[in-house]
Amino acid sequence: SCITFTEVRLPVRSRRRWAEAIPFVLEDLLATDVEELHFAHGEPNPAGLLPVAIVDRNRMADWMAALEASGIRPDVLWPDIVLVPWIPGRWSLAREKNRITLRWGREQGCTLEDPLAEAVFKRLWAASPADSRPREIVFYGAADDPFLLNIRSEPGREMVTWTLGEPSASEEASRGPVTGFNLLQGAWAPGHHRQETWTRWKPSVFLAAGWAGLL
């Protein structure tokens, strides 16, 4: 996927230094030189971990150039996982053509093609302690979806409440501030580079997201 998620524990408390510290903390865990990557962060979770999104700088530049060519200057660039509603204690899954979006936290999720989505779901389930697994799983899709049928049939899932979500709920999630994860940070922060040729329309744009358990 285009966007990779992970979580880090930073050695500094000053918010102003987070952006500088993130590449330093992650550089030994990434195959790509951190100078070639763009990092954006959300808000610390209760465990003190900071969610981080990682995007190739050239890809980010291509996205922004494409938006500019269309006369669009967004103030917010969101990963597409935020389109799927989520509440604590619940995992949310959504089908879109041959892709599945999994969201298991406020700023945790990924969008994957079948059958990789099924493998990642099973890995997440196995890695989660029994007392932290979801009490409910909501699926935005058809009741006879093969992906849903396969993951429901696994041993140990009988204690989970399975619910079919309404598509309108997914649409509603896109209308409000559903996450603090704006990818437009650093060099791409609103106001950092203003061009008069752009229009004044400032929509929110959603991009496909992936996930990696780096730490």
Q: Please tell me the predicted confidence (pLDDT) of residue 44.
A: 87
107 or 207: which leads in pLDDT: 107
Residue 112 near residue 120, CB atoms below 8 Å: yes
Instruction: Name all domains of the chain by residue range, CATH numbers in brackets.
Output: 4-77+178-207 (3.30.420.380), 81-173 (3.30.420.370)
Report helix, strand or coil for 206.
Answer: strand
Q: Please tell me the predicted confidence (pLDDT) of residue 168.
A: 60
| pTM, rounded to two decimals | 0.73
What are 6's two structure tokens?
């992970």
Residue 93 has pLDDT above 80, yes or no: yes
Rounded to whole angstroms, the Cα distance separating 21 from 87 reads 30
Segment 92-121 mean pLDDT: 90
211 or 32: which leads in pLDDT: 32
Residue 24 amino acid letter: F
Segment 199-208 mean pLDDT: 48
For 139, other C-beta atoms within 10 Å of its C-beta total 21
CA dist 193 to 39, 42, 64, 184, 188, Å? 17, 22, 11, 11, 7
Q: Which of 95, 91, 110 is nearest to 3 (CA)?
A: 110
144-180 pLDDT, tens digit per residue, is 999 999 999 888 788 899 999 876 655 555 444 455 6
Rounded to whole angstroms, the Cα distance separating 92 from 81 reads 10
Residue 113 has pLDDT above 50, yes or no: yes
Residue 29 near residue 39, CB atoms below 8 Å: no
Rounded to whole angstroms, the Cα distance separating 177 from 196 reads 27
As a three-state string, the secondary structure of 19-86 is: HHHHHHHHHHHCCCCHHHEEEEECCCCCCCCEEEEEEEHHHHHHHHHHHHHCCCCCCEEEEHHHHCCC
